[in-house]
């Protein structure tokens, strides 16, 4: 079997399983859509595994807490997030993709390009290089972007009882995040954008239809 990190190893991992990531601003309903999609795919007989970033491993969850509660410079943020990503790729994504599972991941490398790159201002080349080190070339096969307006974000936030430092960032921060994701999505064919303003069952139906299509092509 080809080693993880080599071109052959990653191609092998990708060929067998399928890696879907969910991206978008904070509070756009990713968790709900991941749950609905996981359930639907399981009902169709697929082996599905759900995970998240930052987090998804014991070390990653510790790093997630650190990231969410401490103020840190953009470079420190990037290092913490990439450390979490490296753990997830090595210990969860690689073995599960090799076993042929469908992975649904709440955020991945594209979040770093948007948050640490486009929004916090780190050069995109630097973020891309850090992503490459952490992922060793593993990329999402299909990226679901949930796109919500800033107004939507504000109303969702009102209903959230425990707000973290990121929830407390201003509206202009969230507008920048939204714009950066939309720009990234336009330039990358793996992205498919869905309006998060629709009814959640309606969004789910659209996502499921597209996922069924890409899975058929992948089979």
Residues near ligand TMP (CB under 6 A): 26, 52-54, 81, 106-107, 111-112, 115-116, 166
Closer CB to ligand TMP, 45 or 170, in the complex: 170
Q: How far is CA 77 from CA 87, 103, 121, 206, in A?
A: 16, 25, 12, 34
Positive or negative torsion for Cα 84, 88, 91, 94:
negative
Task: Please give the full DSSP string across 166-206, using - where no structure is assigned.
Answer: TTTS-HHHHHHHHHHHHHHHHH-TTEEEEETTS-HHHHHHH
Closer CB to ligand TMP, 9 or 87, in the complex: 87
Closer CB to ligand TMP, 9 or 145, in the complex: 145
In the Cβ-directed half-sphere of 144, how many Cα atoms lie within 13 Å? 28
Least Å from the CB of residue 26 to ligand TMP: 5
Q: How far is CA 50 from CA 17, 37, 57, in A?
A: 13, 10, 12
Q: What share of the chain is helix, strand, coil (3-state, %, to 5)?
A: 60, 15, 30
Closer CB to ligand TMP, 52 or 178, in the complex: 52
Positive or negative torsion for Cα 121, 125, 128, 129:
negative
Least Å from the CB of residue 77 to ligand TMP: 6
The CB-nearest residue to ligand TMP is 115
- Cα–Cα distance, 78 to 83 (Å, whole number): 8
Least Å from the CB of residue 32 to ligand TMP: 12
Least Å from the CB of residue 116 to ligand TMP: 6
Least Å from the CB of residue 20 to ligand TMP: 15
Least Å from the CB of residue 12 to ligand TMP: 25
Closer CB to ligand TMP, 9 or 88, in the complex: 88
Closer CB to ligand TMP, 157 or 193, in the complex: 157
């Amino acid at each position: 079997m080809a080693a993880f990190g080599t071109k052959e190893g990653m191609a092998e991992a990708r060929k067998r399983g399928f890696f879907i990531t969910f991206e978008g601003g904070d509070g756009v309903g990713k968790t709900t859509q991941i749950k609905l999609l996981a359930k639907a795919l399981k009902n169709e007989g697929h082996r599905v595994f759900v995970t998240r970033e930052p987090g998804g491993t014991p070390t990653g969850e510790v790093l997630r807490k650190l990231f969410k509660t401490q103020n840190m410079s953009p470079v420190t943020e990037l290092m913490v997030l990439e450390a979490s990503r490296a753990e997830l790729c090595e210990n969860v994504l690689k073995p599960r993709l090799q076993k042929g599972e469908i992975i649904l991941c709440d955020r991945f490398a594209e979040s770093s390009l948007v948050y640490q790159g486009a929004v916090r201002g780190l050069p995109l080349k630097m973020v891309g290089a850090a992503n490459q080190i952490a992922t060793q070339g593993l990329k999402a096969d299909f990226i679901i972007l949930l796109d919500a307006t800033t107004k939507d974000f504000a109303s969702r936030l009102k209903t959230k009882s425990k707000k973290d430092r990121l929830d407390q960032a201003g509206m202009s921060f969230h507008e920048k995040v939204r714009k950066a994701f939309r720009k990234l999505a336009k330039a990358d064919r793996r992205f498919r954008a869905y309006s998060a303003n629709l009814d959640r069952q309606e969004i789910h139906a659209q996502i499921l239809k597209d996922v069924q299509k890409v899975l058929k092509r992948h089979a």
